[in-house]
């Protein structure tokens, strides 16, 4: 019924089609990467362990938690830890920051977005320099109105301002620090003289 030449072309076509389907970049991009949360450094930074035992430090995208030394900094860290430490999570990575950390969204197995949960419960600001999400903006506004978390303070300092103030303070302290005068040492003559002559 089919000629041998036709069968060869059909087989070749099927092989090419199967290869193209397996190498579809859209499918690869949508693949779920499941990790275990093995460390929480602060409210918006955690350490994930891949199934092949590779650790990845992740900075949560679009949000900024108070620094650990700021009011509610430790509370934000505790919230993140309670929410996801030791659990399986999905990482939706966006990019890498200048410190080499992966920046992305982290989701729990029940679909809870950790980034958004921090803002919703008043433990983070929407990081507007890096986020235009209307949903995050709305969640922050609701947390503000409900006086949740850090919004219990009348006028909390955003962490990016806190970091800027800290950097300026360190620079001022460095400039104000008196420089030590250099000491000049005199060479001492040895009390032992070589009197041997050749």
Angle at 133 between CA 76 and CA 141, to 5 degrees: 55
Q: Residue 148: exposed, middle, or buried by beta-carbon count in 10 A (0-12, 13-18, 19+)?
A: middle
Choice among 8, 27, 98, 101 that is catalytic: 101
Name the residue with tokens 């362990």.
Answer: 49
The 8 Å CB, 24+ separation contacts for 92-99 are: 93/33, 93/58, 94/61, 97/59, 99/59
59 is catalytic: yes
8 is catalytic: no
Contact 159, 59 (CB under 8 A): no
Choice among 8, 27, 59, 62 that is catalytic: 59
Residue 46's contacts (CB-CB under 8 Å, 6 or more residues apart) are 37, 39, 40, 57, 58, 60, 80, 84, 106
101 is catalytic: yes
Give the separation between CA 33 and CA 192, rounded to whole angstroms: 75
Choice among 8, 27, 62, 67 that is catalytic: 67
Q: Could you give the residue numbers annotated as active site?
A: 59, 67, 101
């Amino acid at each position: 019924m089919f000629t041998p030449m036709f069968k060869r072309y059909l087989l070749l076509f099927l092989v090419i089609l199967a290869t193209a389907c397996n190498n579809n970049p859209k499918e690869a991009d949508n693949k779920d990467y499941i990790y275990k949360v093995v460390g929480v450094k602060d409210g918006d930074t955690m350490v994930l362990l891949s199934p092949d035992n590779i650790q990845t430090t992740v900075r949560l995208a679009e949000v900024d938690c108070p620094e650990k030394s700021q009011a509610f900094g430790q509370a934000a860290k505790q919230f993140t830890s309670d929410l996801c430490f030791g659990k399986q999570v999905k990482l939706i990575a966006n990019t890498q920051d200048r410190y080499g950390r992966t920046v992305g969204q982290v989701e729990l197995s029940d679909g809870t977005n950790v980034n958004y949960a921090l803002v919703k419960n008043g433990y983070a600001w929407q990081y507007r320099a890096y986020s235009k999400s209307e949903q995050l903006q709305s969640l922050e506004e609701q947390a503000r109105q409900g006086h949740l978390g850090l919004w219990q303070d009348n006028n909390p300092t955003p962490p990016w301002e806190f970091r800027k103030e800290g950097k300026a303070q360190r620079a001022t302290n460095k400039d104000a620090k008196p420089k030590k005068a250099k000491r000049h040492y005199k060479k001492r003559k040895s009390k032992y003289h070589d009197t041997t002559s050749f």
